[in-house]
Each structure stands twice: as C-alpha cells, then as structure tokens.
C-alpha cells in the first residue's frame, strides 16, 4: 500500500537527514560557521496508481531535535498530465542535486 511505502520513505529520509546532520557537525568542526549543508531531502512514494513527493528536514525546537516530513505533491500515474508534471519535478530536483546541492557539499 502507499501508506506502507510512505512510511518506508520516512525512515529512509530520517536516515538521510541524520547523515546530513553528521556531515554538518564535521564541517562545523573543521570550517566553523561557513561549513553547513541544508538538512533537507526529498523522497518519492509510489504505487501502481499514485506518486507522492515528500520533503524531510530536522530542526531544533526547545532543545530537542524534531524531524518533519511534508507531502509536497501527489501525482496520478493514470493521467498523462500528472505523469509529465512528476517528471518535471523529478528533473528539477535532480538538477538541484547535481548543481547547487552538490556545490554546497
């Protein structure tokens, strides 16, 4: 089910955000405040009919680290228009990852 898939994405996203936070800790140790990579990541939950794009991040609130996941968009895979839109989102995220995100790291 899509619910199970979304939960698996949430777990994988939490691991990615944690890895980014560990990277930031090491960068901060070596570079000070100039060493920081934004700690958000994207995930995609898909079943045979629907794709859901999520963004995840972690922030400190009241001295505690809080993990968030937010659905950004949903796409019906039965609709050509939605399928094209999903492809556009994915290409934009990949371009960001190969461009600005990679330079930040």
- Distance in angstroms (rounded) separating the CA atoms of residues 30 and 23: 11
pLDDT digits (tens, 9 = 90+) for 77-99: 999 999 999 999 999 999 988 88
pLDDT digits (tens, 9 = 90+) for 28-58: 888 776 667 888 899 999 999 999 999 999 9
Close Cβ partners of 2 (under 8 Å, ≥ 6 residues apart): 45, 46, 47, 50, 52
pLDDT confidence band for 75 (50 / 70 / 90): very high
pTM: 0.81
The angle formed by the CA atoms of residues 45, 85 and 48, to the nearest 5 degrees, is 40
């Amino acid at each position: 089910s899509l619910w199970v898939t979304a939960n698996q994405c949430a777990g994988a996203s939490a691991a990615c955000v944690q890895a980014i936070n560990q990277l930031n800790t090491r960068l901060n140790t070596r570079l000070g405040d100039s060493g920081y990579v934004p700690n958000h990541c994207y995930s995609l939950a898909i079943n045979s009919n629907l794709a859901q794009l999520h963004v995840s991040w972690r922030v400190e609130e009241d001295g505690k680290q809080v993990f968030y996941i937010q659905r950004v968009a949903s796409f019906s895979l039965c609709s050509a228009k939605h399928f094209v839109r999903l492809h556009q989102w994915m290409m934009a995220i990949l371009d960001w990852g190969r461009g600005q995100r990679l330079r930040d790291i």
